[in-house]
Amino acid sequence: MKSIWIDCEWFIGGELFILGYCYNSKNMGQLYGHSLTKYRVQKILSDVKYIYCYGPDIGIIEKHFDMDLRNKYVCINLLKVFRHFIGTESYKLADLEKLYGIKRRRVEYKKNILTSSLTGQMIIAKEGSSNTTVRILIILCVSGK
C-alpha cells in the first residue's frame, strides 16, 4: 500500500477545480477540467492506504464527488499535526518554509498553478517527552501538464 499527497484548489463555496497529487517526487500529476472526475480520483487512490493533505482538502473532495474517504483511507491532515506539535503564529506553508529554512527552487505562491513546476521537501522534527521523535516528511509537489 502506498501513500499520496493531495493538494486541491477550489472556488469559494467548495467547487473543486484542480486536484494535484504526488506519490513521490517523481510520480505526480494533476486533475482539472474534463479530467477532474470521480472515476479518475478513484483511480489515483487505488492501492493507496494513506492520504496526506494540508487543510480541508479531504472534506472538499468528499463533498464535491459525494465520496467517503475518511472511512476508506487513513487521512492525515498535516495542518492539524502541525498545530498539535509546533507552536507558531502562522501555519501557512510559505511561513513554515521560512521558519525552518527550506528553500524552493522556484518561489511561486498563488501564481498560475496550471503552468507551475515546483518540488520542495520539508522535514520537521520535534523531540517528545521520552525518546519519541516526531518526524514529518512533506513532499510538496505541483507539476504542470
> Averaged in consecutive runs of 10 residues, what is the pLDDT profile of the chain (145 residues)?
90 87 91 95 96 93 95 92 83 81 65 40 31 29 30
- Cell numbers given for 81: 499535526
Question: What's the number of domains the chain is made of?
Answer: 1
Residue 8's alpha-carbon distances to 56, 68, 134, in angstroms, are 9, 17, 26
Q: Which residue range(s) make up the domain with 103? A: 2-142
Q: For residue 24, which of 143, 106, 144 has the smallest C-alpha distance?
A: 143
CATH of the domain at 42: 3.30.420
What is the value of pTM for the model shown?
0.70
For residue 140, the model assigns a pLDDT of: 33
pLDDT of residue 123: 32
**Would you state the pLDDT for residue 99?**
81
